[in-house]
Structure 1
Amino acid sequence: MAAATTVAEKKKAFKVPQFTAKDYTSFFTAGALCATITHGAMTPIDVVKTRIQVDPALAKHSLLSGGRVIVANEGAKALLTGFGPTAVGYLVQGGAKFAGYEYWKKQLVQIAGDQETAVRYRTGIYLGAASIGEFFADILLTPLEATRIRLVSSRGYATGLFTGFARLFREEGMRGLYAGFLPILCKQIPYAIGQFTVNEFCHEMVNRSMSEEKRKSVGPTANFGITLGCGIIAGFAAAVLSHPADTLLSQINKGHGPTGSMPHRLKVLAKEAGFKGLFAGLGPRMIMTAGLVAGQFIFYQGIKDAMGAPPGLEIHKESEK
C-alpha cells in the first residue's frame, strides 16, 4: 500500500498556473518592451555585423575596425541605419515570442499530464515551446527584418522604416517582404532554442547548487547576477546556433544568390560561402547576442514584476537527495 502511494505521489499532476488574458497581456507587453529596448540599443553593432556579412570590403574587419571604417566613410549616423524597423519589428516579435513561449510551455506541460513526465521530457517541452512561439512571432518580424537589412546593406535605399517598407512592397510585393521567411525561421528558431532552453538549464543548475533555504534568502542583487550570468551563456548559445542562417538571411535580403526556390538559393549560397564564410562576423554577433539575451531577461523580469504579472511555469529537475 505504501509503495502504491509513493508511485501515485510521483505521478501527481503539476500545479499548472491558470494564466488569464491579463497575464498573457503582461507577458506580451514585457516581451515587447524588453526586445525593442535591447535590439534598438544594439543597432550600431548590428549594422557593423550585417555589413561585415555582406560587404567584401569589410569581411576581414573586426567589430571595432569595421565600425571605424563605416563612420569614416559614411558618418556616425550610418550606425543607426535601420533603427526604425529594428525597434518596431522586435516590438511585435518580442511580445509574441515571450508570450508564446509561456503559453506553449504550459500547453505542453498539460499534455505531459503529470510532474514526473513533464520533468523527464522538459528538454522537449522547452524546444517545442520555443520553436512554436518563435514561428508565429516570425510571421510578424519577417517584413520588417527584410526592410532593415535592405536599409543597412544598400546605402541610399530609403530614408527610413516607412519609405523602405513602401519601396520594398511596391517593387517586390508580398513575395519580397517574405523572401527571407524560411531563412529567418532557420535563424530565429535555433536562436530561440538557445535563448530559452539554455537559460532554463542554467537556472536549473544554479537552483540545484543551493539548498531550499538559501534559494529563499537570495536577494535582489544576487538574483540580478544570476539572471545576467544565465542570460550571457544563453546568448552565446543562441548566437552560435543561429549564425549560419543569419549570414544567409543577410545575403538573401541583399539580393545575392541564384534565382529559384528558397531552399535551392540557400543551398547554393551556403556552398559558396563555405564553413568559414557562414560564420563570418560571429565574434561581433556573440558579443551583441550575449548583451541582447541577458538584457532581455533582465528587462522582462523587471517589467513583469512592475506590472504584477505572475512568474512563468518552472519544470526544473530538483537536486538528488
Structure 2
Amino acid sequence: MKDIEERKASPPSPSPLSKSKYDYYGICFIGGMLSSGATHLAITPLDVLKVNMQVNPEKYKNNGILSGIATIWKEEGSYALWRGWSGKLCGYGIQGGFKYGLYEYFKNFYAADDDRALIKLNRNSIFFLSGLSAQLLADVTLAPFEAVKIRVQIQRNFAKGLVDGFPLVYRNEGLAGFYRGLVPLWSRNLPFSMVMFSTFEHSVDLIYRKIMHRRKEDCSTAQQLGVTCLAAYTAGAVGTVISNPADNVMTSLYKKKAESAMQAIKSIGFINLFTRSLPIRIALLGPVVTLQWFLYDTIKVLSGFPTSGGLARDQKES
C-alpha cells in the first residue's frame, strides 16, 4: 500500500513529445552529433590500431593493444596515431546526429497507435525497425568520410585529412569512390545498430524492473544516468560481436585487397571474420557506446527531457 501511495504521489515524468516534437528531435540530433563526434575523436589511436591490425594481421598477431600502439608510434611517429581524426570527428558526428535523431523519430512513428500505424507492432519489432531505418539513412552521410578516413590511416602518403583527402578520392575514383564501401558499411552497422538499440532498450527495462525495482520516474537523475551507462555497455559489447565480420570485409575492400565482399571473405577466412581485431573492437566500442549514451542522455536531461528508454505509449498506458 505504501508503495502504491508513493507512486500516486510522485508526478509522472513528462513525455518526450509533451513539448514540441521538433524541439525534441532537434535536441536528439544535437545530442547524438556532439556525443558521437567527441567519443569517436577520443579513440582515434585505437581506431588506427584496429585498421592496421586488419590490414596487416601477421605483423600485429602477437601484439596487445599497448604494444600495437607502441609499434605504430615507434615506426611512424606519434602523429600516425591520430591519422583520420578529422574524418572521425566530422563523419561520425554527422552520422551520430542522424542516427540518434532518426531513431527517436522512427521509434515514435512505428509505435503510433493512430491512423498512421498500418499494423500493431510489438516492442521488439519497433526497436529493430527503428534502428534499421535510422542507420540506413545515417550511413549514407558517413560513407564519404569513412572512405577518406580509412585511406588516410592505411596509405601513408595519401593525404593528411579531409581537406586534401576528398579532392584526391574524387579525382582518382569519382563519386563512386566515396561509396565503394557503403554496402559493407551497411552490413556492419545495420546489424550493430539493430542489436545495439534493441539490447539497450531491453536492458534499461530489465534493470528498472529486476534490479532497481522502481519505475524510471521514481529514480533520481544520477540513478537514471547510471542505468543508461550499464545498459549502453551491454548493448555495445553485444553489437560489436555481431558486426565484426562485416567490419573486416569493409577494411579489406577499402585497402583493395579484394574486389568483392565474397572474395574478401574467402581471403580472410570464416573463423578470422569473427575473431580478427575483435578484442580491440570490444575495447574500443564498449566504452565509446557507453560514453555516447551518457553524453546523449545528459544533453537530453539538461534540455528538460527524460533519459532514453521505453516508448511514449508506455507512459500513456501507465
Into which bin does the TM-score normalised by the smaller protein fall?
A: 0.7 to 0.9
Within the alignment, does 1:106 sit opposite 2:108 as a pair? yes
* C-alpha spacing 1:289/1:227, structure 2 compared with 1 (3 Å): same
Superimposed CA distance per residue, residues 272-309 of structure 1 (whole angstroms, 9 cap, x where no aligned partner): 21123213100010011101110110000011122334
1:86 is matched with 88
Counting aligned pairs with the same residue, the percent is 29
1:201 is matched with 202
Equivalent-residue separation in structure 1 for 2:254 and 2:114 (angstroms): 40
1:296 is matched with 292
Equivalent-residue separation in structure 1 for 2:96 and 2:28 (angstroms): 10
Residue 29 of structure 1 contacts residue 95 of structure 1 at CA under 8 Å; is this kept in 2? Answer: yes
Amino acid at match of 1:289: L
Equivalent-residue separation in structure 1 for 2:17 and 2:222 (angstroms): 29
Q: Secondary structure at the match of 2:276?
A: coil
Amino acid at match of 1:103: Y
Within the alignment, does 1:283 sit opposite 2:306 as a pair? no
Following superposition, the deviation at residue 62 of structure 1 comes to 2.4
* Greater Cα shift, 299-308 or 23-32: 299-308
2:303 is matched with 307
Following superposition, the deviation at residue 52 of structure 1 comes to 0.2
* C-alpha spacing 1:59/1:17, structure 2 compared with 1 (3 Å): farther
Within the alignment, does 1:58 sit opposite 2:59 as a pair? yes
Following superposition, the deviation at residue 136 of structure 1 comes to 0.5
Amino acid at match of 2:276: A
Equivalent residue pairs, number = 297
Equivalent-residue separation in structure 1 for 2:54 and 2:201 (angstroms): 31
Equivalent-residue separation in structure 2 for 1:70 and 1:169 (angstroms): 29
Equivalent-residue separation in structure 1 for 2:314 and 2:302 (angstroms): 28
Q: Secondary structure at the match of 1:147?
A: helix
TM value normalised by structure 1:
0.85
Q: Secondary structure at the match of 1:304?
A: helix
Question: Structure 1: which 5+ residue stretches go unaligned?
Answer: 1-13, 259-264
* C-alpha spacing 1:216/1:139, structure 2 compared with 1 (3 Å): closer
2:7 is matched with none
Question: Structure 2: which 5+ residue stretches go unaligned?
Answer: 1-14
Superimposed CA distance per residue, residues 140-189 of structure 1 (whole angstroms, 9 cap, x where no aligned partner): 00000011111111112101111111111111011111000100000111
1:140 is matched with 141
2:99 is matched with 97
* C-alpha spacing 1:17/1:241, structure 2 compared with 1 (3 Å): farther
Following superposition, the deviation at residue 216 of structure 1 comes to 4.4
Following superposition, the deviation at residue 256 of structure 1 comes to 1.5
Within the alignment, does 1:71 sit opposite 2:67 as a pair? no
Equivalent-residue separation in structure 2 for 1:313 and 1:107 (angstroms): 15
Residue 59 of structure 1 contacts residue 280 of structure 1 at CA under 8 Å; is this kept in 2? Answer: no
Following superposition, the deviation at residue 207 of structure 1 comes to 1.6
* C-alpha spacing 1:17/1:268, structure 2 compared with 1 (3 Å): farther
Q: Secondary structure at the match of 1:110?
A: coil
Equivalent-residue separation in structure 2 for 1:304 and 1:236 (angstroms): 24
Equivalent-residue separation in structure 1 for 2:134 and 2:269 (angstroms): 31
Q: What does 1:1-321 correspond to in 2, within 5 Å?
A: 19-60=20-61, 61-110=63-112, 121-209=122-210, 215-258=216-259, 265-278=260-273, 279-309=275-305, 314-315=310-311
The Cα RMSD (Å) is: 2.6
Following superposition, the deviation at residue 211 of structure 1 comes to 6.9
Following superposition, the deviation at residue 252 of structure 1 comes to 0.9
Equivalent-residue separation in structure 1 for 2:246 and 2:54 (angstroms): 11
Superimposed CA distance per residue, residues 2-42 of structure 1 (whole angstroms, 9 cap, x where no aligned partner): xxxxxxxxxxxx99757522221111000000100111111
Amino acid at match of 2:262: K
